[in-house]
Amino acid sequence: MSGNKQTFLDASVVHGDWIPPTTHARGPRPRTGPPITVAITKEEFDSKYYEIKSGLVLVLNNKEFRVTGENLGDRAGSDIDASTISQRFSELGFEYELETDLSKSTTIEWFERVKRQLITKPVDCFVLVVLSHGTENGVYATDQLMRIEEIVETFNATNCLPLRFKPKVVIIQSCRGTNLSHGINVGLSDPNRADAMGDPTEYNEWLGIRPVTQTIRLPNEADFLFAYATVPGAGAFRNAAEGTPFIRHLSKAIEDMEVNEDFYSVLTSVNKTVGMTYKPNNGEAEYNDIVQMPCFVSHFTKSLRLRQAR
């Protein structure tokens, strides 16, 4: 075995005088330059948990759409989700802002205004809830698609100084494709009844300086968590009278959250409840084996406990 410990990029490297274009189909390329160094105490860096004493939740509730080339229907029942999820975070001590039916440009203006406010009024946790139509790679403003990457870039470590090292939770209630997830029927045995079967029911100093010659890097993607109503490529359900099963059960799980309970366990319980007990009810036989499987993707560097002991 060679003793060479050099690390290589697992991709072909372009040599010679090739100069990367400044823009491409996904938007501006990252600017090159010296790394940005910011400070954090060693105690904060070594902590296993984010310390949460204050929070802000933004709820974007898009219900009516005018997207060229797309036939996106109105999202009846979304107001129920917006009200419920706002109330749950408010009960945790979060301030919240609720906006309805924003175009992409207006959404970006809202985000930029909030970022300016965070400079003078910082928070320990940031949550963005988007209720809308969507695709696998984005969510719809009222007039066009917004890529998930655009949201990340808006609030990442480079572009949003007040949220560096802070947990950023992005909750997305939307379809992520047109497929329907299928499942199998599984009997639920009751150990208290012999051979009984029951059907499941729905219910400054350290980052960059240790000592002066040593630095660590903060990835732009760090400290984000994405909670989706459904897996990539699949549709998500909504009921005009009850809202969506994902937001409804997530709100209930947050309400029932125990002190110091890790948010991962909260989301895992929602995965189980929605994925294994929710059954779309539209009277069609072909929906008998249709399911909805939420999922979450974490870039967290610590554990998040939204209800912390004081």
SS3 254: helix
Per residue in 161-188, pLDDT (tens digit) is: 999 999 999 999 999 988 776 655 555 4
The backbone torsions φ and ψ at residue 36, rounded to the nearest 5 degrees and listed phi first, read -85, 130
Per residue in 201-220, pLDDT (tens digit) is: 433 343 333 443 345 667 88
Give the residue with greater pLDDT, 210 vs 256.
256
Which of 66-70, 246-250, 276-280 has the weakest average pLDDT?
A: 276-280
Structure tokens of 307? Answer: 């209800």
Distance CA(80)–CA(95), nearest Å, equals 19
The H-assigned helical ranges of 156-210 are none
What residues are paired with 303 via a beta bridge? 49
- Domains defined for the chain, CATH in brackets: 33-298 (3.40.50.1460)
Cα angle 250-277-269, degrees, rounded to a multiple of 5? 40
CB atoms within 10 A of CB 263: 24
